[in-house]
Amino acid sequence: MSSRSYQVSVPVSKRNTNCIPETTSNDLKTFTGGAVLSFHNICYRVTVKSGFLLRRKTVEKEILKNINGIMKPGLNAILGPTGGGKSSLLDVLAARKDPHGLSGDVLINGAPRPADFKCNSGYVVQDDVVMGTLTVRENLQFSAALRLPTTMTNHEKNERINMVIQELGLDKVADSKVGTQFIRGVSGGERKRTSIAMELITDPSILFLDEPTTGLDSSTANAVLLLLKRMSKQGRTIIFSIHQPRYSIFKLFDSLTLLASGRLMFHGPAQEALGYFASTGYHCEPYNNPADFFLDVINGDSCAVVLNREDTDGEAKETEEPSKTDTPLIGKLTEFYANSSFFKETKAELEQLSGGQRKKKISVYKEITYATSFCHQLRWISRRSFKNLLGNPQASIAQIIVTIVLGLVIGAIFYDLKNDPAGIQNRAGVLFFLTTNQCFSSVSAVELLVVEKKLFIHEYISGYYRVSSYFFGKLLSDLLPMRMLPSIIFTSITYFLLDIFRAVGKSQNRCALALMASVLQHSSIWLCGFAA
């Protein structure tokens, strides 16, 4: 491409020439009933450490640079190649990024985001994080119990749950288990809809989704986006990142944001994107998917992108590959957009929306105000943990069997101890072994932190519960079946097979000490896990 500048203003065509839904920029401006999210000069940098010990270096990496835009009620897609900053921008808009290294402003209807924005908005993560051993309805009941205010009665909460189930078409699988690696459950599309339903319980005006089509086949992905489109027509502002949608999905978009290397390539009505790129010299081939075409342009794939440019003498256009000596392609596309009418209109509307609000230094990263009390959260977390244990009892049964076998083996080895110096040494060895066994058997508690890590992080950030509620709830639900019962069984077997406790005369104290050792070790492992 030559270094000459191109005219990038694109007239809005009244006729749909690209078979994309008729939603013009004027149509987007008519959405005034829902929430309008605007972001101003968003920059995000992270510190990356490399090397070892004395050679350790700290490098600052720029993830997002000067990102501006407006998300209105409708389907707002963030598209771009892998590593382009889609998920980072989504997390920034949803107030889920560390404020360190983050600059810029995000406004809701021209005002700063409230402190509890993360709790009031919905966020569906890329990997569906729901409790697989529970049914769809039980998962929704957990979300409703912890996120809806306590002033609502149980009848009102159940009505809200039934309404969401009906809205998302989950009636047939409402009482079916979601499923795990070992338990057959609902399909991938139904699992994704369950994740969306968990966030719709609070009836948020803004819903964020991180690549909602990941792991779904094309038909199921299309069904999920049709569902989101229907929800957006009810006045919701739906913002989502997506990697490579097919054409039937792309034509559902109302607004399109193209990102590459953390820079903004385009932001505006989705159906006007092809015309914009045509004005810059990139023409989409017939029958080519627009989403694939945009990614090809950004990645500089000359096999799929035809670059047309005029000769300086006015001769016919010829097709050439971009010169390697030209300015980097992403920089050129960024400059094109900065000089376009789309950017100027967006900046003008951003100034109108902000209305001086950006000058107010109001911190939105305040402590979350929870909808329920500590005891209420503790009760529901314990209840869910017990249901999860009953729905997947294999680990508990295996641990009890191992405990019984180990107790019988120890009893057989040290059976009939004598009252002589050798017997005293054997008794000391047995006491040491029993104590260490009780301690190290609690190491299996780490598994819970690994298995439920993503679930805990998502629910905590979304304002389901406090960290203390989750800690004590899991401690109580895991303590009785997984720690106390095996300790009692193991101590009882060794008590009757060995004469050690009766010889000492402190059998009750010994049982209590063994149980306390197991409980303390279990608690310390959990504390270390949460601290990490």
Tell which residue, 163, 173, 235, has the closest CA to residue 201: 163
Residue 224, pLDDT above cutoff 70: yes
Summarize pLDDT for 282-308 with one digit per residue, the tens: 888 888 899 999 988 888 764 444 444
Which positions ≥6 away from 237 have C-beta within 8 Å? 34, 35, 36, 37, 71, 72, 73, 74, 76, 205, 206, 207
Question: Which range (111-120, 224-233, 473-482) has the least confidence?
Answer: 473-482
Label residue 13 by pLDDT band (50, 70, 90).
Answer: very low
Residue 24, pLDDT above cutoff 70: no
Name the DSSP class of 44: E
Residue 80, pLDDT above cutoff 50: yes
Please tell me the predicted confidence (pLDDT) of residue 394.
76
Residue 259, pLDDT above cutoff 90: yes
Question: Which range (24-33, 299-308, 363-372, 444-453) has the least confidence?
Answer: 24-33
Give CA torsion, residues 179, 185, 190, 191, to 10 deg. 10
| Cα within 13 Å of Cα(325), Cβ side | 2
Share of the chain above pLDDT 70, in %: 77
Q: Is 68 helix (H, G, I), strand (E, B) or coil?
A: strand
Angle between helical axes of 329-338 and 341-354 (0-180°, round to 10): 60
Please tell me the predicted confidence (pLDDT) of residue 443.
66
Which positions ≥6 away from 443 have C-beta within 8 Å? 525
CA distance 186 to 195: 12
Alpha helices in 58-181 (DSSP H): 86-93, 117-120, 136-147, 154-167
What is the gyration radius of the CA atoms in the chain, in angstroms?
30
pTM score above 0.75: yes
Label residue 258 by pLDDT band (50, 70, 90).
Answer: very high
Which positions ≥6 away from 293 have C-beta within 8 Å? 274, 277, 282, 284, 285, 304, 305
User: Between residues 231 and 524, which one has the greater pLDDT?
Assistant: 231
Please tell me the predicted confidence (pLDDT) of residue 357.
53
Please tell me the predicted confidence (pLDDT) of residue 514.
60
Average per-residue pLDDT in the chain? 79
CA distance 520 to 410: 23
Tell which residue, 396, 242, 273, 245, has the closest CA to residue 336: 273
Question: Which range (169-178, 345-354, 470-479) has the least confidence?
Answer: 470-479
Residue 523, pLDDT above cutoff 70: no
Residue 450, pLDDT above cutoff 90: no
